[in-house]
Amino acid sequence: MSKTVELARHLETLKINNMYKNDFYWTWDKTDDEIDAVFTVADALRDLRERNKSTRVFDSGLGISIFRDNSTRTRFSFASACNLLGLEVQDLDEKTSQIAHGETVRETANMVSFMADVIGIRDDMFIGEGHKYQKTFMDAVKEGYRDGVLEQQPTLVNLQCDVDHPTQCMADMLHVIHHFGGVENLKGKKVAMTWAYSPSYGKPLSVPQGVIGLFTRFGMDVVLAHPEGYEVMPEIEEIAKRNAEATGGSYCKTNSMAEAFKDADIVYPKSWAPFAAMEERTKLYAAGDKEGIAALEKRLLAQNAEHKDWACTEEMMALTKEGKALYMHCLPADITGLSCAEGEVDNSVFDRYIIPLYKEASYKPYIIAAMIFLSQVKDPVRALMAMDEAPEQRKCF
Amino acid sequence: MSKTVELARHLETLKINNMYKNDFYWTWDKTDDEIDAVFTVADALRDLRERNKSTRVFDSGLGISIFRDNSTRTRFSFASACNLLGLEVQDLDEKTSQIAHGETVRETANMVSFMADVIGIRDDMFIGEGHKYQKTFMDAVKEGYRDGVLEQQPTLVNLQCDVDHPTQCMADMLHVIHHFGGVENLKGKKVAMTWAYSPSYGKPLSVPQGVIGLFTRFGMDVVLAHPEGYEVMPEIEEIAKRNAEATGGSYCKTNSMAEAFKDADIVYPKSWAPFAAMEERTKLYAAGDKEGIAALEKRLLAQNAEHKDWACTEEMMALTKEGKALYMHCLPADITGLSCAEGEVDNSVFDRYIIPLYKEASYKPYIIAAMIFLSQVKDPVRALMAMDEAPEQRKCF
Amino acid sequence: MSKTVELARHLETLKINNMYKNDFYWTWDKTDDEIDAVFTVADALRDLRERNKSTRVFDSGLGISIFRDNSTRTRFSFASACNLLGLEVQDLDEKTSQIAHGETVRETANMVSFMADVIGIRDDMFIGEGHKYQKTFMDAVKEGYRDGVLEQQPTLVNLQCDVDHPTQCMADMLHVIHHFGGVENLKGKKVAMTWAYSPSYGKPLSVPQGVIGLFTRFGMDVVLAHPEGYEVMPEIEEIAKRNAEATGGSYCKTNSMAEAFKDADIVYPKSWAPFAAMEERTKLYAAGDKEGIAALEKRLLAQNAEHKDWACTEEMMALTKEGKALYMHCLPADITGLSCAEGEVDNSVFDRYIIPLYKEASYKPYIIAAMIFLSQVKDPVRALMAMDEAPEQRKCF
């Protein structure tokens, strides 16, 4: 029995009827079975590709991507996922588009979705805005489908919003699952999701929020560490607490990086902006207050600079479980002495973990493909079985 | 019998031999049968897609797009149409291209068409230039094919030139046909193609010209209304008159928006620039006369501002047939109180017609696909029949 | 027997085991059999396409392109080649990418290659840098494959580096082969690869170097001509000499354009920058020395201007064999009186050779496709035979 068949049989045991024709906004919207299904299909698609099996679901069709922020990793991951399933990517570049001043999201959404099966949106810049944009967009295409404007109802893959970064965090988690040899080995593992110093400012909160919102579902002991003033959204902390209670793990917070690293099995040190400052920034941008933005930037950089000791140094790493915690990052990292003078992580630490870091990233295309698959394929078990048996090859000769 | 088979049988009755391997510049180049064929194939392709039938004509091949002006709707429509038929879009972005100063259109045309089956060009900025560019380009690829440079002869879809906007106007017309329940119900319907105020200036004339050139072919009473000084190209008016005579409809002109709206079944209020001013602008650009251009812009904006009463208000709409004329627009519209302080249309009017407006737009990908289909498929009847019967699915699972 | 079968049988006689899973950097890395194989497969793919046979090797997969310099011809050639074989192009646009300052090439390489079968890189700007970048990139993806980050090992097509421009020069050579009716007719033909004046400066050396490195392999008499100070890389001259010795041809250098043109069968007059100046420029850029760069530019333009007599005029052409040498250029050319006041070639000469010039360019997509084919297809003979026999059509109706 191939790995894919094994995974398909596991998929059969899960309750996932709600996934078909549904969007993927946040991991905490999804049941445990649904999260499991994404990991299962991701592994199956990877197995099929390794065995040169065709995984095309679509003979034609478009995946529309909207990146309201620069992106390499996520852009190529989305393109890879679409291609894997037979969709062609069409990017909405808002710079070369004729989107009229004041044109509604509803109009744009319908105009770019004529043959779209999937929409991928990254909008992580402004607290309170990214998710709202995605929601408005998807409500519009749902209406468009209902009204007969669109022949198909596209589904969303959230490629990062102001709240969650589900494709990143699920790729991170799948990496953790494989690293520790299965989800059953995660109970009691200590995870340190910690802030780290970066010479830039204003990095999104979606990764730390996504990590505490997801990793707490696996019975792990999740610690969020950051200097005072770098709080994340309280609603997400509530979710983390509830998850931990439900799975026999724990969630706690500290203002000491060392305390978080102490005996940790996994460390995820990464810079982010203070939530309150990001709220302020959103308001300043809305008001077009350039002076206010410049002053805020200055203040934030100064505030960051007070915490240069929050770095993933060799000394910090030595505090972790046997000095060998799994170091994680969503990349690109600010590497001390390589990409900046002082940053999130020592070059020697980063360098030692390069292969695991790249593997971590390599799950993202499959996570995205699995999200698309589960929202677009009516009978995913049958589809995987058929792909496993079919003579069709990805590379034909 | 499926709708597609029915449409294919109708197609069989039409004389369309000339369409194969031919370009689509202007609707008035085409016979009534040819226009009918485009609508018929567009409807058939839409029916096939709704029924999840594969409509791939090409196993590989490129659709080259050249947008010499920003575009969203047309860009995504062209991408959708190509994808529907199995072509991959390759966009010639003149900004990142190494097109030498003084490089001839003939050279560029050959260099980007090595594997092109279809060329889509939008060049609507300068009166007297857009069509000329398309023609020069297509003559060059025809020569390239004849000389053995190219293995196939690509065909053109005019995605808007300075004279006509055939994909837009045919999508508009197909919307009208379906809205009124068939082409046979159009005789005697009154259409008001009217100018409307916009705070921007210099909008192309190709939509009003395309509309009067096409809608007059269906026995309708077409009225072109605009303030003095906003005349369109006289040649196109001549075409409109001849069409009207031939089909028992009428074509007339007025300088009163109210007169045009009076008892109209269809209203299409939309801003455009005066033809004479656009000719002047083309010359100023050619001469690189920046001061002249700025002065012209100022004059045109002032001229526009004298006609702010040319707006599709509720009062205006109340004049139409039972106050319920079909409101049309190529989008994006300048909406009073939404996208601008004073614009082409009241927000309440626009909002009431949002679903028909989006439906109108949704025909464009199918119109483009039909144009490609008819110029690339040798036996379109057989192809539609085969697609209808084939087990191939667009979404396979 | 079809032409493709004939070519496949010839391919069977060649020793090309080393091509599978190997990169294409420079023509002189490749054996004569390997070079022959590229020409053979290119011709076969062209024959198959002319006969409307499907040449898809891939059901899905990506071709990643990285253009660190503007490009039209090569960009569209790469896109065409990928499409021909079933790969979708995904372009890494370094401007809209989130490539962190100081991010390593190793990281970028892995992040964009998750589903990449082929990597095409153009990096021709800085002497000593372009090839190094390609090498570092490909070493990284090889490592990524070995470490389990990537499911497949992508192969490189060098789309131009600082040293060689193999897709251009092999397209040039295939054009020569067909022009003279076969490789067996090339012995003793005189080729003049000469510098020519251009009002721009800093053009890459990769074309003249690629030409002398490749054309000397066919028993031809290759002359490199340039004004003093425009020397190419000495290593490449060494290669040219060795090639000439091995094949019974010759390689020599002159500072007289007329001498080179005298009785030439083929002339390739084209501007390039002095190697030493390019080395200097690379250092100035590395040091961020803007004043130095401006001074160098001024000096180079002045130096160029001393050699305006190096132009492919009618008088020059009259010196060639019967006045009818085959004029070649990689395009775009600086054409006197068309694209510039004084340039590389007289308009009348260029114009007379337009069809051969376009044909020359038209081989590039097939050369690229052949390079991909030979590095990705395990049994290329069987694959060509299968494509020849298969009922699959590129255009299905």
Task: Give yes or no for residue B96 having a pLDDT over 70.
Answer: no
Average pLDDT over chain B, rounded to an integer:
95
- Residue B163 Cα, gap to closest chain A Cα (Å): 20
**Contact yes or no for B367/B42 (Cβ under 8 A):** yes
Nearest residue on chain C to B94, judged by CA atoms? C72
**Candidate from B80, B333, B355 with C-beta closest to A115:** B80
Rg (CA), chain C: 21
Q: Do domains B3-163+364-389 and B168-361 have the same CATH topology?
A: yes
Nearest residue on chain A to B88, judged by CA atoms? A88
Nearest residue on chain A to C99, judged by CA atoms? A72
Helices B354-362 and B166-179: angle between axes, nearest 10 degrees: 120
Task: Give yes or no for residue B333 having a pLDDT over 90.
Answer: yes
**What is residue C278's predicted lDDT score, i.e. its pLDDT?**
86
What are the tens digits of pLDDT across the range C70-93? 888 999 999 999 999 999 999 998
Nearest residue on chain B to A382, judged by CA atoms? B397
Given an 8 Å threshold on Cβ–Cβ distance, is A56 in contact with C61?
A: no
- Which distant-in-sequence residues (6+ apart) come within 8 Å of A22 by Cβ? A155, A375
- Residue B9 Cα, gap to closest chain C Cα (Å): 17
3-state secondary structure of B311: coil
Supply angle C-alpha B276, B282, B283, rounded to 5.
95
Nearest residue on chain B to C86, judged by CA atoms? B60
Fold for C167-361, please state it. Rossmann fold (3.40.50)
- How far out from the chain centre does Cα C82 lie? 17
Task: Give yes or no for residue C232 having a pLDDT over 70.
Answer: yes
Q: Tell me the backbone φ, ψ of residue C209, rounded to 5 degrees.
A: -65, -45
Q: Where is C177: in which H helix or E strand?
A: helix C166-179
Query: Residue B69 — very low, low, confident or very high, per pLDDT cuts 50/70/90?
Result: confident
What are the tens digits of pLDDT across the range C130-166? 999 999 999 999 999 999 999 999 999 999 999 999 9
Given an 8 Å threshold on Cβ–Cβ distance, is A396 in contact with C148?
A: no
Chains that touch A (3 or more CB pairs under 8 A): B, C
Of the candidates A208, A303, A310, the one whose C-alpha atom is nearest the C-alpha of residue A259 is A310
Yes or no: is domain C3-163+365-389 CATH 3.90.180.10? Answer: no
DSSP type of residue B51: T
DSSP type of residue C190: E
* Least confidently predicted of C42-51, C125-134, C147-156: C125-134
Mean pLDDT along residues B322-332:
97
Given an 8 Å threshold on Cβ–Cβ distance, is A362 in contact with C62?
A: no
Nearest residue on chain C to A84, judged by CA atoms? C60
The CATH architecture assigned to A3-163+363-389 reads: 3-Layer(aba) Sandwich (3.40)
Residue count (chain A): 397
Given an 8 Å threshold on Cβ–Cβ distance, is A396 in contact with C58?
A: yes
**Contact yes or no for C264/C257 (Cβ under 8 A):** no
Mean pLDDT along residues C173-200:
97
**Candidate from A76, A86, A88 with C-beta closest to C114:** A76
Q: Give chain C positions within 8 Å (CB) of A335.
A: 102
Mean pLDDT along residues B49-56:
97
Nearest residue on chain B to A141, judged by CA atoms? B358
- Residue C38 Cα, gap to closest chain A Cα (Å): 17
- Helix H, strand E, coil C: the string for chain A is CCHHHHHHHHHHCCCCHHHCCCCECCHHHCCHHHHHHHHHHHHHHHHHHHCCECCCCECCCEEEEEECCCCCHHHHHHHHHHHHHCCEEEECCCCCCCCCCCCCHHHHHHHCCCCEEEEEEECCCCCCCHHHHHHHHHHHHHHHHHCCCCCCCCEEEECCCCCCCHHHHHHHHHHHHHHCCCHHHCCCCEEEEEECCCCCCCCCCHHHHHHHHHHHHHCCEEEEECCCCCCCCHHHHHHHHHHHHHHCCEEEEECCHHHHHCCCCEEEEECCCCHHHHHHHHHHHHHCCHHHHHHHHHHHHHHHHCCCCCCECHHHHHCCHHHCCEECCCCCCCEECCCECCCCEEHHHHHHCHHHHHHHHHCHHHHHHHHHHHHHCCCHHHHHHHHHHCCCECECC
Given an 8 Å threshold on Cβ–Cβ distance, is C72 in contact with B108?
A: yes
Give the integer Cα–Cα distance in Å for C159 and C210: 12
Q: Which residue has the higher pLDDT, B259 or A128?
A: B259
Mean pLDDT along residues B102-115:
92
- Residue C184 Cα, gap to closest chain B Cα (Å): 23
Give the integer Cα–Cα distance in Å for B380 and B358: 28
Q: Tell me the backbone φ, ψ of residue B142, rounded to 5 degrees.
A: -65, -45
**What is residue A96's predicted lDDT score, i.e. its pLDDT?**
67
Supply angle C-alpha C4, C9, C12, rounded to 5.
125
Of the candidates A54, A70, A360, A312, the one whose C-alpha atom is nearest the C-alpha of residue A194 is A312
Task: Give yes or no for residue B71 having a pLDDT over 90.
Answer: no
**Candidate from B110, B144, B379 with C-beta closest to C397:** B379
Nearest residue on chain B to A98, judged by CA atoms? B71
**Candidate from C334, C361, C394 with C-beta closest to B61:** C394
**What is residue A128's predicted lDDT score, i.e. its pLDDT?**
85
**Candidate from C70, C358, C393 with C-beta closest to B96:** C70
Amino acid identity of residue A100, one-letter, is A
Given an 8 Å threshold on Cβ–Cβ distance, is B55 in contact with A56?
A: no
Q: Give chain B positions within 8 Å (CB) of A379.
A: 397
Mean pLDDT along residues B117-122:
97
Domain ranges of chain C: 3-163+365-389, 167-361
What are the tens digits of pLDDT across the range B151-167? 999 999 999 999 999 99
Given an 8 Å threshold on Cβ–Cβ distance, is A88 in contact with B86?
A: no
Q: Give chain C positions within 8 Å (CB) of A76.
A: 64, 90, 92, 111-112, 114
User: Which residue bears the tokens 């979606």?
Assistant: A206
Give the integer Cα–Cα distance in Å for C237 and C224: 9
Picking from B76, B271, B344, B345 by the largest number of A CB atoms within 10 A of its own CB, the best residue to mutate is: B76
Given an 8 Å threshold on Cβ–Cβ distance, is C107 in contact with A332?
A: yes
Nearest residue on chain A to C153, judged by CA atoms? A50
Could you tell me which CATH number the domain at A170-361 has? 3.40.50.1370
Ramachandran sector of residue C86 (left: φ over 0; alpha: ψ -120 to 50; beta: rest): left
**What is residue B181's predicted lDDT score, i.e. its pLDDT?**
98
Query: Residue B127 — very low, low, confident or very high, per pLDDT cuts 50/70/90?
Result: confident
**What is residue A72's predicted lDDT score, i.e. its pLDDT?**
87
Give the integer Cα–Cα distance in Å for A61 and A85: 10
Task: Give yes or no for residue B60 having a pLDDT over 70.
Answer: yes
Nearest residue on chain C to B55, judged by CA atoms? C396
Give the integer Cα–Cα distance in Å for C191 and C265: 6
Given an 8 Å threshold on Cβ–Cβ distance, is A54 in contact with C59?
A: yes
Residues of chain A with pLDDT below 50 are none
Given an 8 Å threshold on Cβ–Cβ distance, is C149 in contact with A358?
A: yes
Given an 8 Å threshold on Cβ–Cβ distance, is A148 in contact with B49?
A: no
Written as six digits, the tokens of C246 are 């091995």
The CATH architecture assigned to B168-361 reads: 3-Layer(aba) Sandwich (3.40)
- Residue C323 Cα, gap to closest chain B Cα (Å): 23
User: Which residue bears the tokens 């200055």?
Assistant: A298
- Residue B166 Cα, gap to closest chain A Cα (Å): 18
Q: Where is B252: in which H helix or E strand?
A: strand B250-254
**Candidate from C331, C355, C365 with C-beta closest to B147:** C355
Task: Give yes or no for residue C364 having a pLDDT over 80.
Answer: yes
Give the integer Cα–Cα distance in Å for B331 and A98: 10
Given an 8 Å threshold on Cβ–Cβ distance, is B379 in contact with C358?
A: no
Fold for B3-163+364-389, please state it. Rossmann fold (3.40.50)
**Candidate from A88, A100, A106 with C-beta closest to B88:** A88
Given an 8 Å threshold on Cβ–Cβ distance, is B149 in contact with C355?
A: yes
Given an 8 Å threshold on Cβ–Cβ distance, is A379 in contact with B393?
A: no
- Residue B70 Cα, gap to closest chain A Cα (Å): 5
CA atoms in the 13 A half-sphere facing the CB of B102: 14
Picking from C48, C54, C80, C125 by the largest number of B CB atoms within 10 A of its own CB, the best residue to mutate is: C80
- Which distant-in-sequence residues (6+ apart) come within 8 Å of C376 by Cβ? A395, C20, C21, C57, C85, C117, C118, C155
Task: Give yes or no for residue B265 having a pLDDT over 80.
Answer: yes
Picking from B41, B53, B60 by the largest number of C CB atoms within 10 A of its own CB, the best residue to mutate is: B60
3-state secondary structure of C295: helix
Nearest residue on chain C to B92, judged by CA atoms? C72
Given an 8 Å threshold on Cβ–Cβ distance, is B71 in contact with A115?
A: no
β-sheet bridge partners, residue A267: A192, A327
Chains that touch C (3 or more CB pairs under 8 A): A, B
Count interface pairs A-C at CB distance under 8 A: 120
**Candidate from C59, C88, C101 with C-beta closest to A392:** C59
**Candidate from B89, B93, B396 with C-beta closest to A59:** B396
Given an 8 Å threshold on Cβ–Cβ distance, is C110 in contact with A67?
A: no
